[in-house]
Each structure stands twice: as structure tokens, then as C-alpha cells.
Amino acid sequence: MNKLVGEAVDTVNALKPLVADVEGVDIVVCPVFTALHAVGQAVGGSNVQMGAQNCYVKESGAYTGELSPQMLLDVGCTWTILGHSERRQYFEESDAFLNEKLHFALKSGLKVMFCIGETLEEREGGKMKDVLSRQLTGGLQGLQAADFDNMSIAYEPVWAIGTGVTATPDQAEEAHAFVRGVVADQFGETVAAQLRIQYGGSVKPANAAELMGQPNVDGSLVGGAALEAESFAAIVKASV
């Protein structure tokens, strides 16, 4: 929940020339709802795409305070984030509800960054794999192989979000390899091999290249470091 409309547009306008020559990387900015229309216009014609931070499971109706995938598409979104740890923690979004959201967003034509991750207590209790398995099994239930062409999975260790603590490259690789294995068990090796798995958790220019260099880390879900165009651009370039 950062940046007023003018600030968001200024950031995107500063970002565009910094990444204009970047190829082979999908670059997506996900501003707050109030800035979507203006940012959508600002990124037009550039290699920067736009996503939302959340969406609901209905196209329209008596759901005050929510936005549908259709509304997001209408202002130029091509992506949405679903299941971010803060949505799970503060708004108690369950695996079943997120599965419903995921299905509806994909059916509506949005691409999805689907977030999973364990808390510090769960990791220290040796429950990381159990938590990730549950979130994947419940969240991805009922998907078809073709659905994975329009989504990524974002592993975000909750203990590393906004804390300045980053999972080591080995820790990130271990979790990502496990996630890919669970997907392979459920949907087959072909789907798992092609799936993009992003890392999110205090990614910054100083550690991006080493994280992105891991075999199973295919991209990043950037938080605080994306609030400044220069630092976000440096992370994008580290992903090439």
C-alpha cells in the first residue's frame, strides 16, 4: 500500500527508459488500485506490463469494496497477484478461497502470480514442506496443464518479507526445487519444468543476481526495492 497516483506514474516514467532495452524478461508493476488507470496509460507502448495486487471471484454484483478481473482488464492489467502472505495473514484468505480466485482470474483472461510461503515459526518448527505442500495442493486444485502457461508461483518466505532478512541462495533453491517437485507430482514433469517460480523476500540489487542464478529461481517478486525506479531496474537487469 504505497504511492499516490502521481507518485506511481512518476516512478513508472522513470523506470521505462532504464529497462527499455531489456529483453527476455517479463517486467510487471503492480500499483495500488487507485493508480491502475493512470499507470496503465503510462506503460502503454513500453515493455513494462501492469498487474493488480488482488482481485475478487465475481464479475460484478453486491460485493462492495472488491474489484473483478474484468475491471482490472478494463484498465490495462494483464496480471494480478493472488495469495500474497499479507492477504493470507491480515485478511485470512484460505487455500480454498484462493483456489476459487485463481480459477476465476485465469478464466477471465488475467495472468496470475500465485503466492505461497511459510512463517518463521513454521520454518523453525520444521514445517516448511508441509505448509508449502498444503498451499500448493489446495491452491492449485483443479487446474489444467494449459493454465500454467498463464501463471507463475511466487515463493515468499514470510520471515524474509520487509525484514531485511533474505533467504540464502541455497535456502531459496531448496524451497523452489521442492515446489517444482510438488507440481511435478500433481501435474507432471512437463508442466513443472516449464513453470516459472519467483522468489520474493527482501530482494534487492545487491542479492538479485545470486538469487536469480539458482537453477530453480526463475524471477523475483519485488517489494520495497521496487518503490524506486533505479533499484527495480537493477533487479530486472540482474534477471536477464
Render pLDDT for 65-83 as a digit per residue (tens, 0 to 9). 999 999 999 999 999 999 9
Q: Given phi > 0 = left and psi -120 to 50 = alpha, else beta, which region is 202?
A: left
Which one from 86, 118, 122, 156 is the annotated catalytic residue? 156
* Residues 15, 20: Cα–Cα separation, whole Å: 8
- pLDDT tens for 130-158 read 999 999 999 999 999 999 999 999 999 98
H or E segment and range at residue 6 = helix 5-19
CATH number 3.30.1330.10 given to 55-63+78-232: no
Dig out the grid coordinates for 17 from the structure: 527508459
Residue 176 a catalytic site member: no
CA-atom Rg of the chain in angstroms? 17
As given in the structure block, the three cell numbers for residue 110 are 488475467
First to last CA, the chain: 28
Q: Quick check: 165 pLDDT over 80? A: no
pTM: 0.96
Q: How far apart are CA 25 and CA 208, in angstroms?
A: 14
Catalytic, out of 84, 86, 173, 176: 84
Segment among 84-98, 158-172, 199-213 with least mean pLDDT: 158-172
Contact 147, 109 (CB under 8 A): no
Query: Annotated catalytic, 156?
Result: yes
The domain segmentation of the chain, as residue ranges, is: 55-63+78-232
